[in-house]
Amino acid sequence: MKLKLLEKFRQIQMNSFLKNNVFSISFGTGLSKLAGCIRQIFIAAAFGVGLTYDAFNYAYIIPGFLLIIIGGINGPLHNAVVAVLTPLNKKNGGIVLTQVSIKLSILLFILAIFIYSNANLLIELLAPNLSYEAKSIATYQLKILTPCIPLSGLIGLSFGALNSQRKFFLSSISPAITSVTTIFFILLSWIFNQENAYSHFFTYTGLLAFATLTGTLIQFVVQIWEINKIGLLRLESTFNLFKDEERRIFKLIIPASISSGLSQINVFIDMFFASSFQGAASGLAYGNFLIQAPLGILSNSLILPLLPKFSKLRSEKDKRGLQKKLISGIEYCFLTTIFLTAFFITFNNQIVQLVFQRGSFDYSATLKVKNILIAYAVGIPFYLYRDLLVRTYYSIERTNFPFKSSFAGIIFNIFFDWLLIGAPINNFGNISPYNFGVVGIILSSVIVNLIVCILLSFNLRNEDIHIPNLDLLRKISLMSLAAFIDSTLCFIILQTTNNFNSNFAEFVLLIFGTLTFIVIYFLLTKFLKVNKFKVSKKEI
């Protein structure tokens, strides 16, 4: 009885804790996303789909990888520090934090020196087909960005330390600091260049790298100031104490970093092949940016609520209930993502023009990015379905097969990237007549995700979870038919009202078109009986 009361009390505490912090986390994350969106608009206006931004995307691959994997919120280092520091008092937690910071900083500082010394070689390996000028700019930018490498470890530790003391707002808002700094640098560059035609603020080719480094440094200083404020900053270190806690942190970091880094390998592969095409890296960055925001919202709203239900049903050994929840989740996954695919394909021109087309981002850049956006849009259903399946495996604690399928996906991605850009061979040229350019690299990811989804779906039978694949295929076909009809009708409407020249008129047209698109899709899927969504008082 006492145990039940204690468990109930803990649950009440946890619910209260979540309610008290969910607003600050959501608000901070929302501001960070908004700042990121404005930053991307400024970058597009300043650099367009050009050489400098292309080079920056290659220079940022290694520092960005470390900032995401090691220095990111919910990254391996962040999660390890939260797990280890939360039970400790501030004094002991501060000592552990100092000891881990010193050792990790030494390792990352050595790595930074190696990368700085071999920047030219690394750019050559990452982007062998870039022009000489682009490689030179990328090498210059990578050297500027190398201090971000040791800073990534310190930022990841700071995130974990702050969250272990339930300080969530600063962690959520911190990524916005780099975005705001980049916007500030671009504005300063414009002002300097207008006042003096011969003035180059930090040299234009290094502007983004300097802005990113400065923003990362400011982010670190702000977090250190907050850590000192809450009493976790301990400059003294006792290396003989808390050895077990240190080992736990490093043991948690290494396998988690390998697992998290596996998905990033495909990014390296895509960028490697994209170096053959001028402006490809910039186009991929802009197109991916437009897709990731709605995908993130869908993932959080559709998949995250299912995971605790899966875990509970598994613990209750209710496989039938888990199977029903999964099938329902798959249906909603395809219902929403097919809608999103059709929406981006229909309104691609309006979206790219409204968000990016200004300054250096001219009409030719719009044409390039909207084709990339269409290719990305085709892959949305498979991307989210794969995410759902992988998380399902993790919720039932079967991680071996998703790990193997990720390795298989890397091999498939190398092959299809190569094949869809003409199957080039040194000294022989392209051996395939089909060269889809940068769009082929995106379609490669679509094919790979589809293959992995099929493998993961059929393997669920080995876990005694049976998905009615033929029935789901029928429903997905009907959803696709509804999306096709909807897209065709809206495209006809767009063609008849395509005489607007102002951004405001385009914005109004996009809002009206979006509402029309939603209504038609809802009615068609209801008519075809593949839409279970109901708006009721209970759900509201």
pLDDT of residue 137: 93
Q: What is the pLDDT of residue 296?
A: 75
State pTM to two decimals. 0.82
Q: Is the dihedral of CA 221, 222, 228, 234 positive or negative?
A: negative
Are the CB atoms for 509 and 500 separated by under 8 Å? yes
pLDDT band at 498 (very low <50, low <70, confident <90, very high): low
**Digit-coded pLDDT (tens) for 90-133:** 677 677 777 777 888 888 899 999 999 999 999 999 998 888 99
What does the pLDDT read at residue 100? 78
For residue 36, the model assigns a pLDDT of 87
Separation between Cα atoms, residue 238 and residue 96, nearest integer Å? 9
Under the banding of pLDDT at 50, 70 and 90, the label for residue 297 is confident
Rounded Cα distance, 8 and 2, in Å: 10
Distance CA 482, CA 488 (A): 10
pLDDT at residue 19, as a whole number: 45
**Which of 103-107, 135-139, 535-539 bottoms out in mean pLDDT, i.e. has the lowest?**
535-539
* pLDDT at residue number 375: 94
Q: What is the mean pLDDT of residues 6-13?
A: 41
Q: What is the mean pLDDT of residues 24-34?
A: 72
Residues 6+ positions from 375 with CB-CB distance below 8 Å: 287, 439, 442, 443, 446
Residue 412 is which amino acid? Answer: F
Residue 539: is its pLDDT beyond 50? no
Which contacts of 296-299 are long-range, i.e. CB under 8 A and separated by 24 or more positions? 298/336, 298/337, 298/340, 298/384, 299/384, 299/387
Best-predicted range by mean pLDDT among 146-160, 413-427, 474-488? 474-488
β partners of residue 429: 425
Output 133 or 1, whichever has higher pLDDT. Answer: 133
pLDDT exceeding 70 applies to what percent of the chain?
78
- Which residue did the predictor score with more confidence, 17 or 440? 440
> What band does 326 get if pLDDT is binned at 50, 70 and 90?
confident
- Residue 199 · residue 193 · CB < 8 Å: yes
pLDDT score at 17: 42
pLDDT-derived band at 368 (thresholds 50, 70, 90) equals very high
pLDDT band of 4, cuts 50, 70, 90: very low
pLDDT at residue 85 is higher than 90: no
| pLDDT at residue 70 tops 90 | no
Q: pLDDT tier at 369 (50, 70, 90 boundaries)?
A: very high
Give the 3-state secondary structure of residue 528.
coil
Looking at every residue in the chain, the average pLDDT score rounds to 81
Position 253 pLDDT exceeds 80: no
pLDDT confidence bin for 23, thresholds 50/70/90 = low
Residue 453: per-residue pLDDT: 92
277-289 pLDDT tens trace: 888 999 999 998 8
pLDDT at 79: 64
Q: What's the pLDDT band for 77 if we cut at 50, 70, 90?
A: low
Contacts of 85 (CB under 8 A, 6+ apart): 93, 96, 97, 160, 161, 164
Q: Is the pLDDT reported for residue 76 higher than 80?
A: no
pLDDT digits (tens, 9 = 90+) for 197-240: 555 545 578 899 999 999 999 988 888 888 777 766 666 555 55
How confident is the model at residue 3, as a pLDDT? 43
- Higher pLDDT: 127 or 260? It is 127
Rg (CA), the chain: 25
- Alpha helix (H) residue ranges in 230-318: 243-274, 280-298, 306-315
Contact 65, 212 (CB under 8 A): no
**Residue whose pair of structure tokens reads 């990121």 in the numeric block:** 36
> Which 3 state secondary structure label does DSSP give 235?
coil
Counting Cβ atoms within 10 Å, is residue 217 exposed (0-12), middle (13-18) or buried (19+)? middle
For 381-435, the pLDDT digits (tens) are: 999 998 888 878 877 767 788 888 888 889 999 999 999 999 988 777 788 888 8
More confident residue, 404 or 185: 185
Q: What is the mean pLDDT of residues 486-491?
A: 91
* Identity of residue 206: G
> Which helix or strand (DSSP H or E) is residue 169 part of?
helix 169-173
Give the CA-trace dihedral at 317, 319, 321, 325, to 10 degrees. 120
442 token code pair:
């995106």
User: Cα–Cα distance between 443 and 424 in angstroms, integer?
Assistant: 17
Distance (Å, whole) CA 257 – CA 76: 6
